[in-house]
């Protein structure tokens, strides 16, 4: 078990989440994911690590992890829920409308502009989520 998994396990226990072998397998899938997998994709990947994992276990685990803030659930344009660990650095998403690909990005310019707009309106941003829906330019 890696140091990173140990850290995640300790965080979950501190939040009162019962940590099981199956839940750790699901967390590991999310930790290694280079994409934003659906629950069914998480299930198929987790089964490679532990064949006893069921669809119900995945859904219950994702709900429990989301409830304690360990997992973020994204629903990009109604395309179905996709998941990622919440401990990653802040980022925004660009969704390719033709392929469904989800691209993570971070822009200090956007962050600064959002903070400026909020301040001008008398607010301070606690958190935000930015999703850009786009199509590739021809030849792009």
Distance of CA 85 to the CA centre of its chain: 5
Question: Is 91 a known ligand-binding residue?
Answer: no
Question: Is 35 a known ligand-binding residue?
Answer: no
DSSP-derived secondary structure for 102-133? EEEE--HHHHHHHHHHHHHTT---S----EEE
Instruction: Give the span between the Cα atoms of 31 and 24, in whole angstroms.
Output: 10
Question: Is 128 a known ligand-binding residue?
Answer: yes
Question: Is 41 a known ligand-binding residue?
Answer: no
Instruction: Give the span between the Cα atoms of 53 and 22, in whole angstroms.
Output: 6
Binding residues for Fe cation: 90, 92, 111, 128
Binding residues: 90, 92, 111, 128
């Amino acid at each position: 078990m890696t140091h990173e998994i140990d850290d995640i396990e300790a965080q979950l226990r501190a939040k009162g989440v019962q940590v099981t072998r199956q839940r750790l397998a699901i967390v590991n899938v999310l930790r290694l994911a280079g994409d934003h997998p659906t629950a069914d994709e998480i299930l198929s990947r987790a089964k490679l690590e532990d064949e006893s994992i069921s669809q119900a276990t995945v859904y219950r685990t994702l709900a429990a992890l989301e409830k304690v803030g360990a997992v973020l659930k994204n629903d990009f344009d109604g395309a179905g829920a996709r998941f990622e660990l919440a401990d990653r650095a802040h980022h925004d998403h660009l969704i390719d409308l033709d392929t469904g690909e989800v691209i993570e990005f971070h822009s200090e310019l956007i962050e600064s502009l959002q903070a400026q707009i909020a301040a001008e309106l008398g607010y301070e941003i606690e958190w935000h989520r930015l999703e850009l829906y786009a199509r590739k330019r021809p030849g792009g």
